[in-house]
Structure 1
């Protein structure tokens, strides 16, 4: 009686190993591509800020005579003093104006956006979808395209060259309304609002007592986006304002930059002023990062 030894064919194993190897190669390639794009994006955002930090420590001679990413003779204090003394300290008036404009837009404009998004999400009314479509159209229109119409309207009512010419437009934020509707759907259960109605709470009380506290991470996120957008706004105050005492820091630095063409000594002040102008933005992100990080994940997990 003869015995036969059965052997397992090798070709499937080779094919399986090949598939596994291809999967590993594909995973490495995808990770390399994603990480490479992230590194490039981070460098695109971080490198200009690093250059600003290095350049703010230099005087006029060092700016043009040393490497871009090297410290100068640490003239940062002198540059800050020169910025503070220029034109009677108008730079800090520009900073205060930017804080007023951006803070008003973040708090009031953000609250209006949250209220509108909450209404679009929780209330049923006529032409609801059509009106929300109008909001989405407002998201698609760039802000620069609305500057001239707003200037014409402001000139008709005598608001040009006043702070209200900046404060009133920043109260409208179509993108914030869109985000607020998403946050409302993700954070506020309909059952909670129904329980509040059963207890006798009206729509306004329900929103401020229940809806707003529950949507607070979204409110902070919208307010932060609005703060950054208003702080960096350039075209609207440039067109609306002629009085330098009312200008934000973005327009004020551009005026100094114009002076720097015939007067090179203005270049260190422009760079130092630009560095100082980003400090409030960094402070806002650091202090509010706990809220806006949680707000960015709204609705991602049901």
Structure 2
């Protein structure tokens, strides 16, 4: 009888018998092309980052210069003679009877009413399309997808003609009402609500006697918070940076947003014999982008999770 020790020490043949030890696969060696590919992607990413940050760096540096310093100093370095950032900010808010403050308040009004209303309608519509079945649902889906593909500039002229017949041009409503429509926000909330709200949770709330309104506000709305923040950021940026629609809708400078106001100052600075306000254009541009940067930094974790909604299925 063979002992277990002799069995353990007996070498097994490498033939094709059932007791043969399987051969271990040697790990694949990394090809030489992969490190080169990584280096190339890193270089491309660095170039894109540099292309993005250079205009911002020029803007921040130029905002610290006087009108004379902009013409006499290097663009990507500070003016050694005078640091005029605070003076430029003060002059920006006081120039032309403080019209910059008026433009800032107008922009805030358009964002609160336009972007806020667009977010509210997108949340309500996306939730209804995701959790309720009704005739024509597929048609609505096709219309929403088609509306996402249509650029807003293509609808600006027909919108102007319609609003001119209604007598709403040169009023804030000509900017606010078109801003209430956000097909991309509706589509994003549709996808997010489909994945974020379990149908079983809604059925449990209805069995407990909760109505549809109470179910939406107390059960569904907290689960939709990341998607809501994402849509709010997109609509806020679109309304804050909106230029073409106010350009064709508004003639009164008192209703200008910041985009049109800064463009008017820039045209004034470029005119021969005009007032030297180019430093105010640069400083106003810095003040315009700061709220958007702060909003993205503070709400970064919410809009990142909102963008990832619906990307993975269980």
TM-score of the aligned structures, taking structure 1 as reference length? 0.89
1:60–1:264: 8 Å Cα contact kept in structure 2? Answer: no
**Which of 255, 260, 265 is matched with 1:251 structurally?**
260
Residues 7-45 of structure 1 show CA distances to partners (whole Å, capped at 9, x for unaligned) of xxxxxxxxx79x6141xx233123223322322222222
1:76 CA drift (Å) = 1.1
Partner of 1:201: 210
Residues 46-81 of structure 1 show CA distances to partners (whole Å, capped at 9, x for unaligned) of 211111000011122221222111112211122112
Partner of 2:58: 51
Partner of 1:298: 309
Larger Rg: 2
Write out the 4+ residue segments of structure 1 that deviate beyond 4 Å after TM superposition.
none
**CA separation in 2, counterparts of 1:33 and 1:181?**
38
**Which of 110, 133, 137 is matched with 1:128 structurally?**
137
The SS at the match of 1:20 is coil
Pair 1:68-2:75 in alignment? yes
1:109–1:172: 8 Å Cα contact kept in structure 2? Answer: yes
1:268 CA drift (Å) = 0.6
| More helix by percentage | 1
**CA separation in 1, counterparts of 2:78 and 2:285?**
17
Partner of 1:285: 296
**Which of 16, 21, 39 is matched with 2:46 structurally?**
39
**CA separation in 1, counterparts of 2:228 and 2:194?**
13
The SS at the match of 1:119 is helix
**Structure 1: which 5+ residue stretches go unaligned?**
1-15
**Which of 84, 91, 115 is matched with 2:93 structurally?**
84
Residues 110-147 of structure 1 show CA distances to partners (whole Å, capped at 9, x for unaligned) of 11111111111111111111111111111111111111
**CA separation in 2, counterparts of 1:99 and 1:37?**
37
1:267 CA drift (Å) = 0.9
**CA separation in 2, counterparts of 1:180 and 1:21?**
43
Residues 255-294 of structure 1 show CA distances to partners (whole Å, capped at 9, x for unaligned) of 0010011236111111111111111111211222232122
**CA separation in 1, counterparts of 2:258 and 2:155?**
21
CA root-mean-square deviation: 1.6
1:99 CA drift (Å) = 1.2
Partner of 1:240: 249
